[in-house]
Structure 1
Amino acid sequence: MKTILKTLSLCLAYVLVTFQVQAQDSTAVQPQRGDLDFAAKAMARNAFEIQAANIALQKSQNETIKHYAQMMVSDHTAAGEQLTTLVQQKNWELGKADDQKYEQMIQQLNDADAASFDQLYADLMAQTHTEAIELFKQAAEGNATTDNELKQFANEKIPGFQSHLDQIKTFKPTKMSTDIRDSVPNPKDTTHKKPLPKR
């Protein structure tokens, strides 16, 4: 009888320990609202950067812009894959972030003419990378994001975003844009009209 009771006690202890370990593991991967919000926003922002860069690769004739856009595709594709893997490993389900602002920016890029495209793209990249640095700093250093791996991901990406921002801030439009504008005749400009022949 004592042997049976001892065996039951050991089994009960094992079950309790196993339950506690499983509970700890489950708690460890449970996301907070801030974790899900940041991950969804980061995903949306990353997708925008790639889409905008692909438009730049198609529309721009400026080698500096094209090189920068190719870097955006490469860097943000890698970042997106890293974040996707992290989210999948934790079995998180992300909601759809508000991407109306990004849709409007994409429309601006699609509608821009050749003379204004490069400067518009550079301005948008400066804006979105400034915002990205602030978002990722909040995730890395703030209290809203609690998952350590997610905070580490955010912290690791900040130097790269800062480098992207610094590079695009140095962009100056080439003379090509001016040449394109000058090649379009102004109907009110009479300086280039040929004089009427004398009778």
Structure 2
Amino acid sequence: MKTRQFFASLAAASILLAVPAFAADSAQAFVDKAAIGGKFEVDSSQIALGKVQDQSIKDFAQMMIRDHGAANAKLATVAGEQKLKVPSALDAQHQGDLDKLKNAQAPIDPAYVDMQRKAHADAVKLFETYASGGDNAGLKTFAQQTVDTLKTHQQMIEKIAAGQDAITGATTPAVKTDNTPNAAALVPGANSFTEAQAKSRIEGAGYTNVSKLTKDDQGIWRGHATKAGEGLAVGLDYQGNVVAASK
């Protein structure tokens, strides 16, 4: 009887000792992934600032440097309080992606946007999971406080990506012979692009000398531009579609 009680007590003690070890490993795994992801956001965005063309993407990159820089600093503080180590270098996959951006010829708009879409999908999943079931109170609170910002970033980069896709699909517009702009691909709707952003997107579609931009009552920016030496009437809708016609 005493022998059974001894082994039962020993088993219980083993379980209690195992719990902190498991918690530390799980917490460290979160710190590793969050820190590497955050560092990649900052490093890739610093490269993007000098190599992307679209102003809205530059603005997004600047936001990533600011927001993820602050989050990285907060993570380092929380991890330090929990006696956890914060990795100082990227893993092989993220370093490979960073090298691609470094070595790519400007502009790198599509590559940077694609990487940010994947990075934020991974980050939102990681932080949501830890925010709901994390085993370290300090890190769980950090994840809960950060996940909404990550979701906002994800929504922003998805909107930018949609605009880039629309521009890519309309970089070779059908040119008419009359004086009416080809509005077939332009979608009416509330247009959140500023005049500067509209000009930047039109220029990103290959046009120069963009001028006289005004937003009509359908939410479409209309103006004049030049492409291949030809003067064109050009339009930009709220989805980012760029369409032009001979003036």
Q: Same fold (TM over 0.5)?
A: yes
User: Is the 2:40–2:90 Cα contact (8 Å) retained in structure 1?
Assistant: no
Query: Which residue of 1 is the match for residue 241 of structure 2?
Result: none
1:32 aligns with 2:28: no
1:170 is paired with a residue whose SS is helix
Query: Which residue of 1 is the match for residue 119 of structure 2?
Result: 128
User: Is the 1:136–1:155 Cα contact (8 Å) retained in structure 2?
Assistant: yes
Rg larger for: 1
Show CA shifts across 1:97-119 (max 9, x none): 8711111111221233335x111
1:91 is paired with a residue whose SS is coil
Query: Identity rate of aligned residues, in percent?
Result: 28
1:61 is paired with a residue whose SS is coil
User: Residues of 2 paired with 1:80 and 1:71: CA distance?
Assistant: 14
Q: Quote how far apart the aligned CAs of 1:96 are.
A: 7.1
1:149 aligns with 2:141: no
User: Is the 1:133–1:161 Cα contact (8 Å) retained in structure 2?
Assistant: yes
Match of 1:58 among 50, 53, 56: 50
Q: Quote how far apart the aligned CAs of 1:175 are.
A: 4.5
Match of 2:93 among 73, 90, 101: 101
How many matched pairs?
153
Structure (1/2) with the larger strand percentage: 2
Structure (1/2) with the larger helix percentage: 1
Show structure 1 runs of 5+ residues with no match. Answer: 1-26, 184-199
* TM score, norm. by length of structure 2: 0.56
User: Residues of 2 paired with 1:47 and 1:110: CA distance?
Assistant: 15
Compared with structure 1, are the counterparts of its residues 71 and 118 closer, same or farther at alpha carbon in structure 2 (3 Å cutoff)? same
Compared with structure 1, are the counterparts of its residues 113 and 175 closer, same or farther at alpha carbon in structure 2 (3 Å cutoff)? farther
Query: Which residue of 1 is the match for residue 62 of structure 2?
Result: 70
User: Is the 1:40–1:97 Cα contact (8 Å) retained in structure 2?
Assistant: no
1:139 aligns with 2:140: no
Match of 1:162 among 151, 157, 164: 151
Higher RCO structure, 1 or 2 (CA under 8 Å, sep 6+): 1
Amino acid at match of 2:60: Y
RMSD: 2.7
Show structure 2 runs of 5+ residues with no match. Answer: 1-18, 165-200, 208-226, 229-247
User: Residues of 1 paired with 2:85 and 2:157: CA distance?
Assistant: 34
Query: Which residue of 2 is the match for residue 89 of structure 1?
Result: 81
